[in-house]
Amino acid sequence: MEKKTTDKKKKQGKSLTKKITGWLHLWLGLVSGIIVLVVTLSGTMFVFCDEIIDLCGGSAKYVQAQANTKKMSPEELLAKFHQQVPDRKAFYFDTYKEADRTFRVASATKPPKDKNVPKAGKPKGRGPRGVFAYHYLDPYTGKITGSTKSYEFFYIVAHIHAQLLAGKFGKTVVGVASIIFFVQLIGGLILWWPKKWNKTTRTAAFKIKSGTKWRRKNYDFHNVFGFYSLLPAVFITITGLIMAYKILTDLTQEAFGGIADAHEIAEQYEPKFDPEKKTLSYADFVDKNFKKFPEARQFRMSIPRNDSATVYNVVTAKFIGLKSLASGKSMEANKYTGEEIQYPKEVIMHEVIEHMNFDLHVGYWGGMFGKIFTFVIGIICTSLPVTGFLIWWGRRKKSPKKSTEVKNIHQHRKEHHEQPA
């Protein structure tokens, strides 16, 4: 008799745990659902930004290669660019080894210098740099072959994902919603876990039952695919939280050998501005780095905002995307010598950890496989608030009479099983 009482208490304890978890899972999901949906959808869209940007470039990415004709220097091409689009300011350029590839310029609309200019007269766009765009130039003539604002599109998508285009307040909202989503994932695992493991519960837990109505299929999709995506979803959420909260960023840096105030320390190792010193040309940087990395096909270089800047960010690789690179190197270079700035080990590790966390979050860790994997997980995570809402709405719309009948059937079965043999 005492044993039966103990077993009954254990069952009640489990039931209470699931009831509390279920209540939290429901209401936290309803409160944060829209935000989680927007954040996960925008993050999923960003995964293939490089491929979409290249697709939008179309035929403008190529020209007819001219035999025995040398390409114009980056300085000459940038001058041609600003002549054709004087309302824009370039902030980096891409050049390629292939003779038929165009010269690409990343630029933004210039904000008016006069602060008294009414808002109606200002260029539309987010932030002080205005609207982003890519322009493609014929490297032999300097003529613009085409342009795309896909850069601006993904800039907006990234800022929706990080802060809902609402600055610090939006960043706080996204951070809180991400924490709730993390709790939801753990709560979902508790609710998914069967009371007993047998053939029936295993089938229900790991497979979507065929031949059922859409409500049951929706329930199975939420549970089964939610379970399969659990670990990578938790991992993506954690890497996102590391980027969102400085305290987590600093802890991660310290844990893996980086340093929190790396940018302040890095400035001490950068060359001082000297107007008497000769600066290397952009063409010198291109030649120097293509020779240093013979396997590379693409070179990117930042354009400093003012003459007093002494460090250029240069990237040389087989492929350079919006926020990614394949088989190459990104570095800060001395504008007078072209050599890489020799930062302390902790500062270098800071950059390595920062980029690695971003790559893990976005799916750049495993090439195309990593992108596809992250995209699929993103689609599932985007669907969870929707399928969860439909489960709640379906239960809410059930008729009281039908619910009472179901409860009576379960009660009758319970009483039948509890009768002594």
The answer to whether residue 262 is domain-embedded is no
The answer to whether residue 229 is domain-embedded is no
Measure the CA–CA gap between 42 and 94, rounded to whole angstroms: 26
Which pLDDT band, with edges at 50, 70 and 90, does 65 fall under?
confident
> Which of 113, 65, 72 is closest to 95 using CA atoms?
72
What local confidence, expressed as pLDDT, does residue 413 receive? 44
Which residue type is seen at 36?
V
309-352 pLDDT per residue, tens: 999 999 999 999 999 999 999 999 999 999 999 999 999 999 99
The answer on pLDDT for 14 being more than 90 is no
The answer to whether residue 93 is domain-embedded is yes
The answer to whether residue 121 is domain-embedded is no
Range of the domain at 41: 16-112+128-172
Looking up tokens 């998914």 gives 192
Looking up tokens 């709560």 gives 187
Measure the CA–CA gap between 106 and 91, rounded to whole angstroms: 6
The answer to whether residue 407 is domain-embedded is no
> Which of 270, 362, 284 is closest to 95 using CA atoms?
284
Q: Are 364 and 324 in contact (CB under 8 A)?
A: yes
168-210 pLDDT per residue, tens: 999 999 999 999 999 999 999 999 988 888 888 888 889 888 8
The answer to whether residue 225 is domain-embedded is no
The answer to whether residue 168 is domain-embedded is yes
The answer to whether residue 55 is domain-embedded is yes
Give the chain's domain count. Answer: 1
> Which of 116, 102, 98, 19 is closest to 60 using CA atoms?
102
Q: Which two tokens stand for residue 155?
A: 């800039």
What local confidence, expressed as pLDDT, does residue 307 receive? 85
261-295 pLDDT per residue, tens: 888 898 899 999 988 899 999 999 999 999 999 99
